Amino acid sequence: MKRLEWFIARRYLASRRKGRFLSLITLIAIGGIFLGVMALITVIAVMTGLQRDLQAKILGTTPHVYVFEEGRGFRLEGWPGLLRRVREIPRVAAAEPFVMTQVVIVPTGGDYAQFGTLYGVDLEPEGEPMTTVHRGLKNGDLALGPTQSGRPGILVGQRLASRMGLLPGTLVTIIAGENIKTDPLGNYIPVTREFEVTGIFSTGMYEYDSQNLYVALPAAQDLLDLPGDVVSGLAVNLDDPWQAKEVGTAIADTLGFPYYTQDWMVLNQSLFSALKLEKMAMGVILSLIIVVAAFNIISTLIMVVTDKTREIGILKSMGLTDGRVLLLFILQGLAIGLVGTALGTFGGLGLVWVIDRFDLISLPGDVYLVDTLPLALDTGDLILIIVTSITIAFAATIYPARQAARLQPVEAIRHE
């Protein structure tokens, strides 16, 4: 008998004018759901895509776990023995020493200086490459020598090189911020070394491409006047980066005091927490659009109840029960919710595909760390949006449906 309720529900949703399939108020209610769902899908796809893109780029440009020595100011002594012990720990895919320091870079003979972060890396590491730069060094896309000038080679981030007008073959002077000497008069004299630019790299991360520099490990040790068995720390990559916390704890327990670890999730925790909170906040805010659309459903059904009061009274006098009247109006609201949700879902997915396919939106990299707007949509998020929309539409039908079901046949027939 549900066919009768659905037949009546369709007639109530339709326009009285011939040639118009749905009434204007029904179209407005459907349009509200449509816009809310489409906006919610698009924004959630943007937030998810941004989070995934940043995670992928961070994992591609930084090691999963760092090992440092407590109280030494980024100085780790006797690294060869420690490195062997770390490589024997389960789930460690690769490990190598590194030197990291803040420097000033000046084109030789120039007067324009920039701050940067200099990394000294092992040119013959064991295992898989640690980062995209290491991968470029291993497969030959990047190189640190030999150089025409005979000076050590240096790799420069693409944005830093563009800002300073650096090209392969350019000589640059690196001024160390740590290894500062004093002359007999007590004046501070910074240590400088000259390098030749041998390559320019791009990671896609604005922050890294605008300040990172790479040299061979011995060249970095020479700049800081470090002995061969002293580095800043050990960089460790895992077979599963999401196990960084557990493996980092295992490394610290194996090496013991005074060694400690930091993983990539802790170092970037504030960034990902902000993205997660922003995604949640945007989801809640945009869900209000669907809630507003639900009020359109309520008003639509109330208007139908008011307009069709006499017809409802006649139907009830002919044997239509309260439950079936209730179902009749619930079906009307659900029809609006389902159609609006379906259109919004297809519209949202289509808009996400177009933006992602044609890179329609560009971003300032110094603010968002990426240059283009990445989009990705989890199946779970999509299902949650659809279910939430339909649930809100269903909830909006309860009050007007109950009002219709409570109508007394005699009073309804007499209604003017």
What is the pLDDT at residue 198? 95
- In the predicted model, residues of the chain with pLDDT beneath 70 are 1-2, 12, 15-22, 363-371, 410, 412-416
pLDDT for 416 equals 54
Q: What is the pLDDT of residue 211?
A: 93
Query: With contact defined as beta carbons under 8 Å apart, do 74 and 233 qualify?
Result: yes
Task: Decide: residue 126, CB within 10 A, 0-12 exposed, 13-18 middle, 19+ buried.
Answer: exposed
b/e code 192-224 from CB counts within 10 Å (16+ = b): ebebbbbbbbebbbbbbbbbbbbbbbebbbbbb
Q: Which of 334, 310, 331 is nearest to 4 (CA)?
A: 331
- How many Å apart are CA 25 and CA 381, to the nearest integer? 30
- Residue 47 is predicted with a pLDDT of 85
pTM of the predicted model as reported, rounded to 2 decimal places: 0.74
What angle do the packed helices 24-61 and 269-307 form, to 10 degrees?
Answer: 170
Separation between Cα atoms, residue 70 and residue 78, nearest integer Å = 14
Residues 6 or more apart in contact with residue 256 via CB below 8 angstroms:
none
Q: How far is CA 209 from CA 120, 161, 294, in A?
A: 16, 9, 48
- pLDDT the model gives residue 6: 73
CB 127 within 8 A of CB 63: no
Q: What is the pLDDT of residues 41-74, one digit of tens each?
A: 998 898 888 888 888 888 888 899 999 999 877 8
Q: What is the pLDDT of residues 177-219, one digit of tens each?
A: 887 777 777 777 888 899 999 999 988 788 889 999 999 999 9
Q: What is the pLDDT of residue 2?
A: 56
Q: What is the pLDDT of residue 1?
A: 47
Q: What is the pLDDT of the chain when averaged over all its residues?
A: 85
Angle at 348 between CA 381 and CA 34, to 5 degrees: 100
Question: 68 to each of 85, 185, 257, 263, how far by Cα in Å?
Answer: 14, 36, 11, 11
pLDDT at 369: 59
